[in-house]
Amino acid sequence: MDKFLITGPCKIRGSVSISGSKNASLPILAATLLFDQPVIIKNLPRVRDINTMLNLLKSLGSKVILSKDRKTAKIVNKKNMKTFASYSLVKTMRGSILVLGPLISKYNNSKTSLPGGCLIGARPVNYHLEALKKLGMNYELKDGYILAKSNGKLKGTIINFPKISVGATENSIIAACLAKGRTILKNCAIEPEIKDLTNFLNKAGAKIRWSGRICKITGVECLNKTEYSVMADRIEAGTFCVAATLAKGNLQINNLNPRIIGTEIKLLKKVGAKIKTTENKILIKGPEKIKSIKSIKTKEFPGIPTDLQAQLMVLMCKAAGKSSITESIFENRFMHVAELQRLGAKINIKNNIASIEGNTKFIGAELMSSDLRASVALVLAAIVSNGKSYINRIYHLDRGYEKIENKLKKIGVKIKRLK
Ligand code: EPZ
């Protein structure tokens, strides 16, 4: 298994380009199952989760033609597609559940594996199932699979999500595109990745309109041949912004509309970072002394994303004073804490609140990655640690950060991948 060796502390200088968003690409790729016509998706990130989704589409019968740089995929669906999403593919990536909505909507039939639990939380899919049931999907759970059928086309209806869910909103929007009549989804997630999905679907002829957390979808007969470029990855951009703030960096971040990380930029300015933005660039200078923030709380968009919680915790460890971080989306997303403590962090966990001492002098150590964002937090901590850190199980990072070691090397981080 590959690991990273990082020798810190490192100076961060230069520029970095943000890749396409993993969490926008996944629902867009799943939605291509709705099409009879070819679809071209551009700006895909070259990360393992995208390969998993493309393999899932292939297993269902889609022909996937990748460009040389693997950032563009042309997807052509067969006349007779399969509707079986196997456990072996779904278990490696929970986002695979996003094929259920399009399969049931287009083919009125599907056998899709239940994703199972995950280190960061139980992550059930009950809201996906309840919403699709309201649209006309009948299902039973058997041997770890969702056996689903519908009696012809799905039918538009009103769905009020009991809790905001990114995946359940996406699955329902995709499914409702070809349903008969009008669907009104209330209490939707409104993450930029979901808006990217609806921009893509509207470009292909879907009829989707937003008003706050309400999404109105008028079903259409079919979607048209289309080409679409996926938005930039706001979590990757946020991670680089934290890196620059943490390491007294001087960084230019290219290829991203700064407005989609407005909340994060505001928070980083509060801790002392100097930030200038243009239409598609961020210039960020880290402060000499990082100010602590009393209370940070993760929240659905436009709040502080849970996917940036671990990285912000590293920042608060280095801040001059006490702080606290409340994780309000997932029940077990503090896996990085024990590893940060191995570097010298003083963090106390009580329920879903982490109290952080601040003024930490990190000393390099051997570390273990647990999930994607926890892993990148360990990379950030190693960058500002004294001495060598070895980060094991970096396959988690390869799931969602494109060529992270190349990007980090280019901006001054002493990082090596050991095979
Ligand atoms: C998406 O996961 C992202 N994944 C996650 O990114 C991200 O952390 C999360 O949204 C929150 O922003 C993708 O986009 C592929 P949810 P998702 O449904 O859709 C509970 C990363 O690191 N819930 O909004 O699974 C759930 O357990 C990943 O890139 C139910 O109870 O998140 C959680 O507590 C990790 N029942 C909360 O809702 C359901 O049916 C929000 O989950 C669905 C969700």
Mutate to test the pocket of ligand 1, among 307, 333, 404 (most ligand atoms within 8 A of CB): 307
The residue among 201, 229, 257 that closes a domain is 229
**Mean pLDDT estimate for the chain:** 97
What are 262's two structure tokens? 């407005």
Query: How many structural domains are present in the chain?
Result: 2
Strand segments (E) across 255-316: 274-277, 281-285, 295-297
Burial of 419 (0-12, 13-18, 19+ CB in 10 A): exposed
Confidence band for 164, pLDDT divided at 50, 70 and 90:
very high
Confidence band for 118, pLDDT divided at 50, 70 and 90:
confident
Confidence band for 344, pLDDT divided at 50, 70 and 90:
very high
- Cα(373) to ligand 1 centroid in Å equals 13
> In angstroms, rounded to a whole number, what is the distance separating the alpha carbons of residues 187 and 204?
25
Indicate the residue type of 92: T
Task: Give the CATH number of the domain where residue 348 resides.
Answer: 3.65.10.10
Q: What is each CA distance from 48 to 21, 76, 120, in whole angstroms?
A: 13, 21, 19
Report whether pLDDT(346) > 90. yes
- Cα(300) to ligand 1 centroid in Å equals 10
> In angstroms, rounded to a whole number, what is the distance separating the alpha carbons of residues 332 and 328?
10
Specify the residue with its C-alpha closest to ligand 1, atom 21: 307
Q: What is each CA distance from 385 to 314, 336, 360, 375, 390, in whole angstroms?
A: 11, 15, 10, 15, 11
150 with 56, same domain: the answer is: yes
- Cα(104) to ligand 1 centroid in Å equals 21
Specify the residue with its C-alpha closest to ligand 1, atom 32: 166
Indicate the residue type of 103: L
The residue among 203, 229, 255 that closes a domain is 229
Cβ–ligand 1 distance for 282 under 6 Å, the answer no
113 with 172, same domain: the answer is: yes
Cβ–ligand 1 distance for 61 under 6 Å, the answer no
Cβ(348)–Cβ(372) below 8 Å: no
Report whether pLDDT(375) > 70. yes
Cβ(322)–Cβ(365) below 8 Å: no
> In angstroms, rounded to a whole number, what is the distance separating the alpha carbons of residues 244 and 283?
10
> In angstroms, rounded to a whole number, what is the distance separating the alpha carbons of residues 106 and 45?
27
349 with 320, same domain: the answer is: yes
Report whether pLDDT(116) > 90. no
Q: Does residue 219 sit in helix, strand or coil? A: coil
305 with 191, same domain: the answer is: no
Cβ–ligand 1 distance for 49 under 6 Å, the answer no
302 with 209, same domain: the answer is: no
> What pLDDT score does 120 carry?
79
> What pLDDT score does 224 carry?
98
Cβ–ligand 1 distance for 128 under 6 Å, the answer yes
> In angstroms, rounded to a whole number, what is the distance separating the alpha carbons of residues 63 and 58?
6
290 with 276, same domain: the answer is: yes
| Mean pLDDT (whole number) for 15-36 | 98
Indicate the residue type of 320: A
Catalytic residue check, 215: no
Rg, Å, the chain Cα set: 22
267 with 353, same domain: the answer is: yes
331 with 199, same domain: the answer is: no
Residues ≥6 apart with Cβ < 8 Å to 370 = 119, 335, 336, 339, 393, 396
298 with 160, same domain: the answer is: no
> In angstroms, rounded to a whole number, what is the distance separating the alpha carbons of residues 240 and 263?
15
273 with 366, same domain: the answer is: yes
Mutate to test the pocket of ligand 1, among 123, 132, 236, 334 (most ligand atoms within 8 A of CB): 123
Specify the residue with its C-alpha closest to ligand 1, atom 7: 307
200 phi and psi, to 5 degrees?
A: -60, -50
Closest ligand 1 atom to residue 93 Cα is: 15
- Cα(379) to ligand 1 centroid in Å equals 23
- Cα(327) to ligand 1 centroid in Å equals 13
| Mean pLDDT (whole number) for 364-384 | 96
> What pLDDT score does 16 carry?
98
The residue among 187, 211, 229 that closes a domain is 229
- Domain carrying residue 272: 3-15+233-418
| Mean pLDDT (whole number) for 128-134 | 98
| Residue of 233 and 119 predicted with greater confidence | 233
> In angstroms, rounded to a whole number, what is the distance separating the alpha carbons of residues 306 and 80?
40
> What pLDDT score does 117 carry?
67
- Mean pLDDT is lowest, of 83-92, 117-126, 148-157, 160-169, for 117-126
- Cα(165) to ligand 1 centroid in Å equals 6
Closest ligand 1 atom to residue 170 Cα is: 19
- Mean pLDDT is lowest, of 118-122, 313-317, 341-345, 367-371, for 118-122
Report whether pLDDT(145) > 90. yes
Report whether pLDDT(119) > 90. no
Report whether pLDDT(54) > 90. yes
222 with 242, same domain: the answer is: no
Alpha-helical (H) ranges within 318-367 are: 335-342
> In angstroms, rounded to a whole number, what is the distance separating the alpha carbons of residues 169 and 194?
8
> In angstroms, rounded to a whole number, what is the distance separating the alpha carbons of residues 316 and 300?
21
Confidence band for 123, pLDDT divided at 50, 70 and 90:
confident
Specify the residue with its C-alpha closest to ligand 1, atom 16: 165
Output 400-405 pairs: Cβ under 8 A, ≥24 positions apart: 400/22, 400/45, 400/47, 400/48, 400/49, 400/235, 400/372, 401/47, 401/236, 401/239, 401/372, 401/376, 402/19, 402/45, 402/46, 402/47, 402/236, 403/46, 404/376, 404/379, 405/4
7 with 127, same domain: the answer is: no
Indicate the residue type of 83: T
